[in-house]
Structure 1
Amino acid sequence: MPLAVGVIQTDGFPPALAAADALVKSAGVTLVYFGLAERAEFLVAVRGKTAEVHRAMEAGIAAADTTPPGGKLVSHYIIPNPPENVESVLPIDFTDQVERFRM
């Protein structure tokens, strides 16, 4: 079954943490990536069924957007069915570290 990927990019750590928390608590998704982007920006990525990723992203975006001053939502996007070559190159696949949390 094809799985979607949703990514949220924030400026600062608090909105990334708030987004990650909201993402996994609001829908049946698995957190597959957390990392630094450029200029102290952070990325959080989740995988799951397309409808679940859409629901999680709504919650994650709202959480990142309402984090207290000092951080903000920079960008977000959803890819409904990334091809295998994208999964093999970008850090969005299920790793051994996150496999036990897979939804």
Structure 2
Amino acid sequence: MKAIGMIETRGLTAAIEALDSMAKAANVSLVDLKRVGSGLVTVIIEGDVAAVTAAVEVGKTAHTMTGGELVSANVIPRPHSELRKIL
């Protein structure tokens, strides 16, 4: 089972910058980009645990290139199968 990583930013540009940096840093793929509301955007990636962890660490600093704000970041190493239903 693949790990899931999430980065939530305030602003679409910051989220896209984080996603670009994460995809370049490790072998991960985009699962979804969700616009939550009030300017919050969540990027969800997947891959093996080490790749997702490395990508999220890179993404946590990449948003600063656009002046965006990091709201939250998380890695779920072995997500429960029920979690896939809401993604």
TM range (shorter): over 0.9
**Among the aligned pairs, what percent are the same residue?**
33
CA distance in 1, matches of 2:59, 2:42: 12
Q: Which structure has the higher relative contact order (CA within 8 Å, separation 6+)?
A: 2
Note if contact 2:30-2:45 (Cα within 8 Å) is conserved in structure 1.
Answer: yes
**Please, what is the CA RMSD of the aligned residues?**
1.0
Q: Which residue of 1 aligns with 2:74?
A: 77
How far apart, in 1, do the equivalents of 2:2 and 2:84 lie?
11
Tell me how many residue pairs correspond in the alignment: 87
Q: Does the Cα contact within 8 Å between 2:17 and 2:66 map onto a contact in 1?
A: no
- Secondary structure of the residue aligned to 2:8 is strand
Structure 2: 5+ residue stretches without partners? none
DSSP 3-state at the match of 2:38: coil
Residue 68 (structure 1) shift: 3.3
Name the SS of the counterpart of 1:84 in structure 2.
coil
The question of whether the paired residues in 2 share the 8 Å contact of 1:14 and 1:67 is answered with no
Runs of 4+ in 1 over 6 A off after TM superposition: none
Which consecutive unaligned segments of at least 5 residues does structure 1 have? 92-103
Residue 67 of structure 1 corresponds to 65
Structure with max Cα Rg: 1
Equivalent residue, structure 2, for 1:19: 18
Matched ranges for 1:1-103 at <5 A: 2-64=1-63, 66-69=64-67, 71-88=68-85, 90-91=86-87
More strand by share: 2
User: What do the CA deviations read for 1:9-63 (whole angstroms, capped 9, x no partner)?
Assistant: 0001111011010111100100111120121110101000000001111111110
**TM-score, with length taken from structure 1:** 0.80
| Alpha-carbon separation, structure 1, partners of 2:80 and 2:15 | 26
